[in-house]
Amino acid sequence: MGGFHSSSWRRGTLALALLVLLLRPAAGASQGRVATIRSVIDGDTAVLEDGRRIRYLGINAPERGEAYSAEATAVNRRLTEGRRVRLEPDQELEDRYHRLLFYVYVAGEMVNARLIEEGLAHLLVIPPNLRHYDQFVQLQRQARAARRGIWRHLTGPLKITSLQANPPGDDRSDPTGEYIRIANVIDEVVDIGGFGLADRHGHRYTFPTLALKPGYSVLLLSGRGVNLTDPRKQVVLYWQSEGPIWNNDGDTATLRAPDGAVVDVWEHRGRVARKSGS
């Protein structure tokens, strides 16, 4: 379980030192801190001028190969690439991949919010980073109602947003490094009880009754452990399996509704994870 708590004292201290070095105060305290975006990777990830990656807080844009991935990337690039931006932090300064976490502003406009508004990203929050949560929920509600961008095909209510099938180390001795993240992508609370997850080799998991707020997610870890179900925090559940679930060389995660209907499918192909379905 240790791999999921990235806010250790040492990493927090390192992140603070990096922020001091990377970010220059703007002319006037009210303007926050500024940096230059060197390049854009996709709709919610960019690279600062010194090479450090930045992950946009509160959103999840389509992955490469998914519908509207190119559009989300193009909008992010048009707004930020080569430009000075204001970076607003939340409670955590970096994620477990050592990416800096920020809300990104260009000429007073928040890019994170713009992407949700245009239907080029959905809300995805990881507590305690909730500073603009209410605003993002409202923007997503409007984008869904207007069927903009991803909402022309994404129906939800749940979506697989990531799968870690081959974590560092030997997952046979410690399978808890494996995880799959499933998010509530609609603007209503969803009871995930009865939803089921399966791999291609017959491992099956049925989610317990649990209310998931809009934009919140559940991490399902392989192996055994104590479930963390405080709805105000990141929900972490355990498969309670004896060993790893996901095949390192390739696997398929299928998420089904209580009535058996397929909700989402994630294809993992060795080192590359590819998404299919909504």
Which domain does 125 fall in, by range? 19-152
31/117 same-domain check: yes
Query: Catalytic site residues?
Result: 55, 63, 99
Residues 27-63: tens digit of each pLDDT? 433 345 899 999 999 999 999 999 999 999 999 999 9
Could you say which of 152, 169, 199 is where a domain stops?
152
Could you say which of 118, 152, 186 is where a domain stops?
152
162/196 same-domain check: yes
Confidence of residue 271 (pLDDT cuts 50, 70, 90): low
Residue 20 has pLDDT above 80, yes or no: no
Residues 199-235: tens digit of each pLDDT? 999 999 999 999 999 999 999 999 999 999 998 899 9
Residues 236-259: tens digit of each pLDDT? 999 999 999 999 889 999 999 999
Query: How high is the pLDDT of residue 273?
Result: 47
23/146 same-domain check: yes
Instruction: Give the CATH number, domain containing residue 165.
Output: 2.60.40.1260
Shortest CA distance to 163 belongs to which of 40, 271, 7? 271
115/33 same-domain check: yes
DSSP the chain: -GGG----HHHHHHHHHHHHHH-EEPSSGGG-EEEEEEEEEETTEEEETTS-EEEETTEEPPPTTSTTHHHHHHHHHHHHTTSEEEEE--S-SB-TT--EEEEEEETTEEHHHHHHHTTSSEE---TT--TTHHHHHHHHHHHHHTT-GGGGT---SEEEEEEE-S-SS-TTT-GGG-EEEEEE-SSS-EE-TT-EEE-TTS-EEEPPS-EE-TT-EEEEESS----B--TTS-EEEE---SS--S-TT-EEEEEE-TTS-EEEEEEEETTEEEEE--
Residue 2 has pLDDT above 60, yes or no: no
The mean per-residue pLDDT over the stretch 270-274 comes to 52
Instruction: Give the CATH number, domain containing residue 83.
Output: 2.40.50.90
55/166 same-domain check: no
32/142 same-domain check: yes
Query: How high is the pLDDT of residue 26?
Result: 43
Query: How high is the pLDDT of residue 7?
Result: 41
Could you say which of 84, 117, 152 is where a domain stops?
152
**CB atoms inside a 10 Å sphere around CB 147:** 12
Residues 133-187: tens digit of each pLDDT? 999 999 999 999 999 999 999 999 999 999 999 888 887 888 999 999 999 999 9
134/195 same-domain check: no
Please state, in angstroms and rounded to a whole number, the distance separating the CA atoms of residues 110 and 127: 20
